[in-house]
């Protein structure tokens, strides 16, 4: 049996759901003349890349308690850190024992996992631009291990999914981010916004109560139906809710976050997390959230104050209006002042109708210029 076949057999026995090998040669990212990337920049003498994937099933767990507003985390996040590390260790130890080096792709390293997964034979691209695999649909996270082991590589050609005439994901995307099949515009994708990018004011409603990511273009896909929900993992998984209560999250500190949020979410910048919580509360529009949002109007992070103001505007009512008017007198940040003014109009009920009449405004309108100037995430 070849080294590749042995590694695959071993890893699958240890509970790695998907594993494939591609060569570490430089490659065009999408086979259509997109930039070349060279995995050997990350490990001298790199010969192969082992791509692995794990299935997290479609397991939205806890039903929301009706008495408290709750947000929504992406499914599978509680398993992310543990499974990522576990699968890596299985592959690394196997290769190390045979005298080879193996390093995991560091987060932030520019190694595009989707084309690598397709090349390694793990799955194929759907029109939502994600990779799906037989039996697991799109509910898979991917990772790559770069090694100097001379593994036999699959190096399969880029392959499109058999979507046929289906365009369900394109039609379902609430922000029209899938501009054409297989191409997502990051600047319009809710997942990118919740990662910290500015969110056009007029489109904030589309985010709903999500705190991380968006899965609409996966949920509607026929390939994600009738899958067996994942129940067991080969490693211990954090027991964390995927629908945390929003008010304690808005007011909580890092210690509180550690008790309720999965490790992977803790990597998020706290002001972005709080901003997303304020946004979700504004979309849920529960007056119960007004005192907490008022409290946050005096927080030190301008973007949190901005979104708290927006949320108060959405919820409306006398208390929200009075708090907004008070904070306008004391607010020193010009961008936040602008948000408060719009929120006051919103609370008086005369902004949304104007937006509807005007249609979708220009790109710069509604963006928080402070965030833009910080260059949090720019268009590709």
Give residues in contact with ligand SF4 (CB under 6 A). 126-128, 161, 163, 166-169, 173, 175, 177-178, 184, 189-191, 214, 216-217, 220-223
Under the binding rule (CB under 6 A), the answer on residue 182 touching ligand B12 is: yes
Contact range with ligand B12 by CB under 6 A, out of 179-187, 258-266, 270-278, 316-324: 179-187
When binding is defined by CB under 6 A, the residue of 57, 186, 208, 234 that contacts ligand B12 is 186
Residues 215-274 that bind ligand B12 (CB under 6 A): 215, 217
Selected from 113, 249, 278, 304, the binder of ligand B12 by CB under 6 A is 113
Select from 22, 23, 128, 147 the one that contacts ligand B12 (CB under 6 A). Answer: 128
- Taking CB atoms within 8 Å and a gap of at least 24, the contacts of 169-177 are 169/126, 169/127, 169/128, 169/216, 169/217, 169/218, 169/220, 169/221, 170/127, 170/128, 170/217, 172/216, 172/217, 172/219, 172/220, 173/216, 173/217, 174/206, 174/216, 175/203, 175/206
22 binds ligand B12 (CB under 6 A): no
Residue number of the CB closest to ligand B12 reads: 213
* Cα 107 to Cα 105: distance, rounded to the nearest angstrom: 6
Distances (CA, A) of 148 to 19, 47, 115, 142: 17, 5, 20, 20
Sign of torsion over alpha carbons 178, 181, 186, 189: positive
Residues 195-214 that bind ligand B12 (CB under 6 A): 195, 213-214
* Residue 276 binds which of ligand SF4, ligand B12, none (CB < 5-8 A, kind-dependent): none
Site size toward ligand B12 (CB under 6 A) is 34
CB of 73 to ligand SF4, least distance (A): 14
Phi then psi for residue 55, to 5 deg, are -90, 135
Nearest to 281, CA basis, from 301, 303, 309, 258: 309
Q: Which does 243 bind (CB under 5 to 8 A by kind): ligand B12, ligand SF4, none?
A: none
Are 162 and 155 within 8 A, CB to CB?
Answer: no
All residues at 6 or more sequence positions from 55 whose CB lies less than 8 Å from its CB, including other chains: 17, 18, 133, 135, 136, 139, 140, 230
Indicate which of ligand SF4, ligand B12, none lies near residue 39 (CB less than 5 to 8 Å, by partner kind). Answer: none
- By CB under 6 A, is residue 356 in contact with ligand B12? no
Q: Which residues bind ligand B12 (CB under 6 A)?
A: 29-32, 34, 74, 111-115, 125, 128-131, 138, 140-143, 158, 160, 182, 184, 186, 189, 191-192, 195, 213-215, 217
């Amino acid at each position: 049996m070849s080294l590749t076949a042995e590694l695959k057999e071993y890893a699958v026995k240890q509970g790695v759901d998907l594993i494939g090998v591609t060569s570490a040669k430089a490659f065009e990212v999408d086979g259509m003349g997109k930039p070349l990337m060279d995995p050997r920049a990350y490990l001298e003498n790199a010969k192969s890349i082992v791509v692995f994937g794990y299935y997290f099933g479609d397991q939205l767990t806890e039903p929301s308690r009706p008495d408290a507003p709750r947000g929504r985390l992406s499914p599978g996040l509680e398993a992310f850190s543990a499974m990522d590390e576990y699968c890596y260790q299985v592959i690394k130890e196997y290769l190390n024992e045979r005298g080879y080096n193996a390093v995991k792709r560091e987060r932030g390293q520019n190694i595009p996992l989707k084309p690598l997964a397709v090349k390694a034979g793990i799955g194929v691209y759907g029109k939502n631009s994600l990779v799906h695999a037989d039996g697991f649909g799109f509910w898979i996270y991917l990772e790559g291990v770069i090694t100097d082991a001379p593994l036999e590589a699959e190096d399969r050609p880029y392959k499109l999914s058999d979507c046929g005439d289906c365009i369900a994901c394109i039609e379902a995307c609430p922000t029209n981010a899938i501009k054409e099949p297989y191409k997502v515009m990051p600047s319009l994708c809710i997942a990118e916004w919740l990662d910290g990018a500015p969110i056009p004011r007029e489109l904030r409603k589309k985010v709903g109560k999500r705190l991380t990511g968006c899965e609409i273009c996966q949920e509607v896909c026929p390939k994600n139906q009738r899958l067996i929900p994942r129940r067991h993992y080969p490693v211990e998984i954090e027991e964390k809710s995927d629908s945390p209560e929003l008010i304690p999250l808005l007011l909580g500190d890092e210690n509180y976050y550690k008790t309720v949020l999965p490790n992977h979410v803790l990597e998020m910048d706290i002001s972005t997390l709080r901003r997303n919580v304020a946004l979700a509360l504004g979309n849920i529009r529960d007056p119960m959230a007004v005192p907490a949002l008022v409290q946050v109007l005096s927080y030190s992070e301008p973007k949190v104050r901005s979104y708290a103001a927006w949320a108060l505007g959405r919820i409306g009512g006398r208390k929200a209006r009075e708090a907004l008017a008070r904070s306008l007198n004391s607010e020193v940040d010009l961008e936040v002042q602008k948000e408060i003014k719009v929120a006051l109009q919103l609370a008086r009920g005369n902004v949304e109708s104007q937006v509807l009449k005007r249609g979708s405004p220009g790109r710069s309108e509604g963006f928080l210029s402070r965030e833009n100037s910080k260059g949090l995430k720019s268009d590709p």
